Amino acid sequence: MLTIRMGLSACLAAFLLLQPVAAHAQAEKAVPKSQSEIQLSFAPLVKQTAGAVVNVYAERVVQRLNPFAGDPFFEQFFGQRMPNRTEKQSSLGSGVIVSNNGLVVTNHHVIQGADDIRIALADGREFASEVLLKDESLDLAVLKVSGRDDFPVLPIGDSDAVEVGDLVLAIGNPFGVGQTVTSGIVSALARNQVTPGDFGFFIQTDASINPGNSGGALMNMNGELIGINTAIFSRGGGSNGIGFAIPANLVKVFLAAAEKGDDTFERPYIGARFEPVTSDVAEALGLEAARGALVVGVVEGGPADKAGLKPGEVVTAVNGIEVEHPDALGYRLTTAGLGKEVALTVRSNGVREISIALNTAPETPARDERLLEGRNPFAGLRVANLSPRLAQELRMEAEKTGVVVVDVARGSPGSRLGFRPRDIVVSLNGVAVPSTRAMEDMLDDDPGFWRVEIERDGQRIRQFFR
């Protein structure tokens, strides 16, 4: 009796490896048809690609405060013999080399706050690196490795060509045990509400992903990068067969921004706000399913307004590609690229198509950032004039206007009174606050009694201070 040595998924993957390279894009998918096909292996594909997946070592120096610092009793007896201590903290993740001159893509949370970042290749060699571009809300970072220009590279594939059921390999360094390869399938697409980032659009896989895999490669059977492994769904800290990867097409536009030398990653601005489509809205509009992005607000004079987009309408597709939810719409607009024009399919009483140019958000009015000082409750607040660009940076609604708190100095009067970043200062003593300059002038009057109205997360809060 014959013995089957591999599972069906692995067998199918191995069979696909035999197809001619030039025919990958058009190759038909098939199940193994013989014992010899069942006994094939992932090994040739792993040998071809694993060298481009690296370990990322991030080290940061933190200061541990002496709990007795400032205590006159202990300072009298111990003086400076009990100073504050510093210690080094290290984190370990993975990364993918995407160009032979040493550009590495990884997750932002892998290198967050790091003072020193080193890259270790699969063969044990280590190199210093620097951060070219990072974005916390997208959880992506691009590093530049020093010293060489002939690194092994993992080519970036087309994540839009990925289908549920496709076979994939995940390569990374889980738990710091060393480079590890796991196999599985794509179990879902366009997943959102996975992380609290800018928007959610993830490839879901059942390939085992664990802590330390972050920043590693999710790869298809053509040996192409289709995603950056980012998150797991787990209550115990280990793999439960649900992992998430940032699609490669988003990685492409982020990498292009890093190669141009951009300091920040700019998102397209269309001047509209969206919410998920509910079953009631879908029924009212005659939609077959509760899918798409419901328009709930349009900025007057913005790109969406000029294109004729109206509140109450539903955007169902971008350039003919269906959008499942508002996060998917944000993803499609971002990956289309700045400077491009996209066609939106819109449903209301009928179906129509509109064109919108994708450009950066305007900074009008100028932010005129100011640090408030003096003997008043607002000392220590850094405020700015709210514009569409600043609202985008702060992840606030695009139509918001006024003076917004962008930072609060630790230990300042403003901090002690509970002010937070993203608070909008609506009025002082009943007078509207139109700009940072006007607010500073109001503080110079110093009436000694302050009646303050702020807007926080859509709620109005009124406070009295002396």
Integer Cα distance of 97 and 86 in angstroms = 33
In a 3-state reduction of DSSP, which class is residue 236? coil
* Annotated active-site residue in 91, 94, 139, 198: 139
**In the beta sheet, which residues pair with residue 456?**
459
Residue 381: C-alpha distances to residues 37, 266, 394, 403 (Å)? 67, 26, 16, 11
Contact yes or no for 220/157 (Cβ under 8 A): yes
Has 139 been annotated as catalytic? yes
Has 423 been annotated as catalytic? no
Q: Which of 364, 289, 299 is nearest to 322 (CA)?
A: 289
Kindly state the tokens that stand for 139. 């959880």
Contact yes or no for 172/212 (Cβ under 8 A): yes
Tokens 């590693």 identify what position?
Answer: 216
Kindly state the tokens that stand for 156. 């970036």
Q: Which of 9, 61, 408 is nearest to 187 (CA)?
A: 9
* Annotated active-site residue in 91, 108, 109, 327: 109
> For 165, phi and psi rounded to 5 degrees?
105, -15
In 78-139 the beta strands, taken as DSSP E runs, fall at 85-99, 103-106, 116-120, 126-135
Kindly state the tokens that stand for 436. 């940072």
Which distant-in-sequence residues (6+ apart) come within 8 Å of 432 by Cβ? 426
Residue 248: C-alpha distances to residues 22, 96, 158 (Å)? 21, 12, 7
Has 24 been annotated as catalytic? no
Q: How far apart, in Å, do the first and last CA atoms of the chain sit? A: 89
> For 240, phi and psi rounded to 5 degrees?
-115, 20
* Annotated active-site residue in 94, 208, 214, 239: 214
Indicate the residue type of 337.
G
Q: Quick one: which H or E segment has residue 285?
A: helix 279-285
Kindly state the tokens that stand for 234. 């787990």
| Number of alpha carbons in the 13 Å side-chain half-sphere of residue 137 | 15
Contact yes or no for 136/108 (Cβ under 8 A): yes
Active site residues: 109, 139, 214
